[in-house]
Structure 1
Amino acid sequence: MAVLSLTKLLPVLACAMIVACGIYAAMEGDLSESDENRKVPKHTVEGETDLEGNFFISFVYTKNILMLDGKGNVVWSKHEDAPGDGVQTGYWDFKKHVVDGKVYYSYHDQDSKNDKFGLPGFAPGERVIMDSKFREIKRISFEKSDIVEKGHPLDGHDFLLIDLDHYIMSGYLKERVYNIPGYPDGSNVIYSYLQEVKDGEVVWDWRSIDYPELYSLTVTDATPTANDFANEQVDAPDYVHFNAMRLNDAGDLVCSFRHLNTILCLDRTKDTDQIKWKLSGNGDEFGLTADQRTSSQHYVTVDGNTISAFDNHNITERTRIVSYDVNMDTQELLGFREYVVDGKFSAACGAQQHLYDDVFMIGWGDAQKDSVCFCVYDFAQDKALITMTLAVPQNVTYRCVYYD
């Protein structure tokens, strides 16, 4: 193997950092403009709605979060300059919470100093809680448990605030395991860890590696190395890739796992045998046909007995919204609907929300065929009511969502 001397390597590293900084600056805006203007990523908005709430926008690779009104005007934003180490970091999952009638906001603040395990889709950091005036009141990381130390960084994909001292968090952890069939000598994996905290104490948690039946469900629709349990191509495969969670009416946690093509229901009253059912994927228990199953989905939502997801559908590169009417107790599929915007494909991230009638809020995440990051789409009329288009498509949005 050829060895590059330090004196030859330094100019190469310097050039690489200059290029990275240039890309980051382009994502943030025109540096010749005023500081205030350049904080907002360059974009254009076409159309408008009569929605009285706000659109919430977060980005994967830049520390920008935006709040827009129903007409597409920016009404609030937050920005932080790129870190000096050249690592692209973002504010993820900007959202609104209402607790006992009081409004709070939160976002995930990625820290470039934390180990990403080599994963582009992992942003370890802290959850920041703000009051209704956008003043920071709290930062949250993991509490001490049998699995992690207090202060261990969170994953940025999702977060549930039940009240200011009660919340559910997600994390990605790395471990060598010995319960994968066919790998008696062990395998390094990156697994999903979920932790519920109330009044500073861990009241429930869940680890994907405690359920060896999940290993056989891993697919490679989005990531070819997701099932590399031999550790031949990567040090540790991201074999489940958690990316979203919601509570159903029974208080169970309904979660999306991208690399399983599966939505799992977890029982928060149990310490073992916590998986209640599996929807979609190779372990589907609802009798879905091949066409009804998701591929690399994001942003699961639950409304009564209806479960919906932003189905990136990497296997066909035909992104859609899918909606399942189910009986969760008997694992029966009662109805299925899909909604497709022709020509659209999102390779990662993304979100969907049913607003009213056949109108949906759609965040396009890592859109591959254009630079539209979100739209409100009326499927009855087959047209977008409002769209936001980024000037720099590489500045991928993590989530674009709507709150009343």
Structure 2
Amino acid sequence: MDRNKKLLIAACTVSVILIIVVGILLAMAGRDKTPLSQHTLHLKVNGSDVEVSLKKDNVTVNAPCLSVGKNQFEVLGYPGGTVQINGKTVKVGSTASITVDSISSENQVEIKVSNVKDSRTIKLRTYSTLLPKLRTIGKGVRNGQYLVTEADRPVMYILDNNGEIIWYKALSAKKTKLRFSDLKCHQTESGTYYSYQVINPDADNFGISDYRPGARVIMDHNFKVITEDAGVTAYNPKKDIDWSQAGTAVDGNAFEMLSLHNTFTVRCSPTRVVNMPDGIKSQKNTTVAAVILQNAGRSSVNWEWKSTSDSRLYSASVSGNDYTSSDMQNYLSPSAMVMDPQDHNLILSFKNADCLVKINSDTGKLMWILGGKADEFGLKDSQKFSGQTDVQVASDGTLTITQADKVTVLKLDEKARKLASYKEKSLSGAVGANAVNTQNGVLCVGKSGKVLIEEESLGDGDDLKNPLQISTTHARSLASVRFVRIEDD
């Protein structure tokens, strides 16, 4: 063998040895020998962040958001070692689907973190300590759900008809300024969806205390978030919609949808009045909080309706209507919006005008006004409502209107412009109500206090058999309570 061949063989041998050594060194470098006590585990649970210090072993923490069924766990950051969630190994940057059989104090999700040095076990409560402890007696309507949003804490949850929590989102009020409102269920042409408002604490509310600007989040029937990070907002009618970017903040009191890409939002906008009717005292530069209802499609805005386009609503206002003032006047104040299941048109509540209006969902045209000074249905003074805070609608179109001291349940004959039926019930502390069985006169009421949800009779002193009542040990202040029947009996 000549000298050149020997040199070539030697060079190849040295190269192989170097590759092996480098591989070993790289492998050793990838094994984290740092004590776990110096690390923090970063997770996303159903899109909500969780950070757990690994200083101590056997730590128990709250889950920020869970549902009965499949939940998405994403490991965002832990250098080296392994992470196992309920026995399933999840790599950094990866997402695992973890099934939760029940949301209860006894049920926990186990997370194990380990490296070559040591290991840690973390228990994730399925029933967060931020949730109220609930006591349920009786039983609700079959296949019904109750959607609850708290008023002064970022806490909301959905109960089945047995009073069991099947989904929740509960964040610490000490750690975030965010608040939620108007948790709703939408049974649409493209399936069942849930939505809620994320109130932006930094958005301009124009000095209106009960205006809750922010973005709308939409979830599918399995409670998986399907909107972009920006959520649903309002968009420029002259430009194409970019769902990945935020538009104008929308109101947290009013949102509806016909399908995933056919949504209806409401917002307020300072607007100078140019069509004030004769006989109303005003100044030249009178400014009002105009209510703008927008219908957004898949790629563009289909139409906008602006309350200032109908001059009757100026005189219909009973509050926030000093048109001689230089301050902006909140003359209508939208408090709720529902979709009539009979014709898929929108019913919008104006608290400061004591009325409801119906808007055609295809054209954005105002169809009628119910209640208040501009009433078109011939309501008697004793039948009129005022300062209504919530409106809900049953599958047959029956409306339930909640105000401070009573609940009004009525059905309209829209063609004849008259009432088809009317009932009322005196109630105090109600934040929302719905006629869950219009034939038998069963009313579901949501309240602030220790009794959160109860079913009552709309009849004359008739008692219900085994009525539902859901109470809690410590009184809670609620923003909304909604009932929905998931499928017909």
Q: TM-score range by the shorter chain?
A: 0.7 to 0.9
Match of 1:354 in 2: 436
Asked if residue 203 in structure 1 is aligned to residue 289 in structure 2, the reply is no
188, 209, 225: which one aligns with 2:287: 188
Check the 8 A contact 1:64/1:80 in 2, yes or no.
yes
The letter for the 2-side match of 1:330 is A
> How much has 1:391 moved relative to structure 2?
4.9
CA distance in 2, matches of 1:112, 1:244: 22
> How much has 1:118 moved relative to structure 2?
2.4
Structure 1's consecutive aligned runs of 4 or more residues displaced over 6 angstroms after TM superposition are none
314, 326, 343: which one aligns with 1:215: 314
Once the two structures are superposed, residues 343-389 of structure 1 have per-residue CA deviations (whole angstroms, 9 ceiling, x without a partner) of: x2247x4232333522122223xx5xx54332122334345812233
What pairs with 1:57-76 in structure 2 (closer than 5 Å)? 57-76=148-167
335, 355, 363: which one aligns with 1:262: 355
CA spacing shift, 1:172–1:163, aligned 2, 3 Å: same
Check the 8 A contact 1:219/1:260 in 2, yes or no.
yes
Check the 8 A contact 2:393/2:399 in 1, yes or no.
yes
The letter for the 1-side match of 2:201 is S
Check the 8 A contact 1:311/1:320 in 2, yes or no.
yes
> How much has 1:238 moved relative to structure 2?
1.9
Query: What SS does structure 2 have at the residue aligned with 1:216?
Result: helix
The letter for the 1-side match of 2:455 is V
The letter for the 1-side match of 2:271 is E
Match of 2:371 in 1: 280
Asked if residue 331 in structure 1 is aligned to residue 417 in structure 2, the reply is yes
CA distance in 1, matches of 2:211, 2:485: 25
Unpaired runs of 5+ residues, structure 2, are 1-123
Unpaired runs of 5+ residues, structure 1, are 1-32, 221-225
Once the two structures are superposed, residues 75-133 of structure 1 have per-residue CA deviations (whole angstroms, 9 ceiling, x without a partner) of: 22112233767x5x422122223345633221111111111222231211111111233
CA spacing shift, 1:391–1:206, aligned 2, 3 Å: farther
Check the 8 A contact 1:363/1:399 in 2, yes or no.
yes
Once the two structures are superposed, residues 290-341 of structure 1 have per-residue CA deviations (whole angstroms, 9 ceiling, x without a partner) of: 111111222142655x5413231x4xxx312321332x12313333222x15
Check the 8 A contact 2:190/2:260 in 1, yes or no.
no
Asked if residue 230 in structure 1 is aligned to residue 324 in structure 2, the reply is yes
> How much has 1:208 moved relative to structure 2?
0.9
Check the 8 A contact 1:190/1:237 in 2, yes or no.
yes
Q: Which has the higher contact order (CA 8 A, sep 6+)?
A: 1
Match of 2:194 in 1: 105
CA distance in 1, matches of 2:166, 2:362: 41
How many residue pairs were aligned?
Answer: 346
Query: What SS does structure 1 have at the residue aligned with 2:284?
Result: coil
> How much has 1:202 moved relative to structure 2?
0.9
What pairs with 1:5-404 in structure 2 (closer than 5 Å)? 36-49=127-140, 51-82=142-173, 89-100=178-189, 102-138=191-227, 139-145=231-237, 151-180=247-276, 181-220=280-319, 226-231=320-325, 235-242=327-334, 243-247=336-340, 249-270=342-363, 274-297=365-388, 298-301=390-393, 303-304=395-396, 306-312=397-403, 314=404, 318-326=405-413, 328-338=414-424, 340-341=425-426, 344-346=427-429, 349-355=431-437, 357-364=440-447, 367=448, 370-380=449-459, 381-382=462-463, 385-391=467-473, 393=475, 395-404=477-486
> How much has 1:281 moved relative to structure 2?
0.8
> How much has 1:151 moved relative to structure 2?
0.6
CA distance in 1, matches of 2:341, 2:295: 16
CA spacing shift, 1:237–1:371, aligned 2, 3 Å: farther
Question: Taking every aligned residue pair, what percent have the same amino acid on both sides?
Answer: 22
Q: CA RMSD in A?
A: 2.9
Query: What SS does structure 1 have at the residue aligned with 2:301?
Result: strand
Check the 8 A contact 2:433/2:443 in 1, yes or no.
no
Asked which structure has the greater CA Rg, the reply is: 2
The letter for the 2-side match of 1:299 is V
CA distance in 2, matches of 1:373, 1:187: 42
With the length of structure 1 as denominator, give the TM-score of the two structures: 0.76
Check the 8 A contact 1:41/1:64 in 2, yes or no.
no
CA distance in 2, matches of 1:394, 1:231: 38
Check the 8 A contact 1:191/1:241 in 2, yes or no.
no
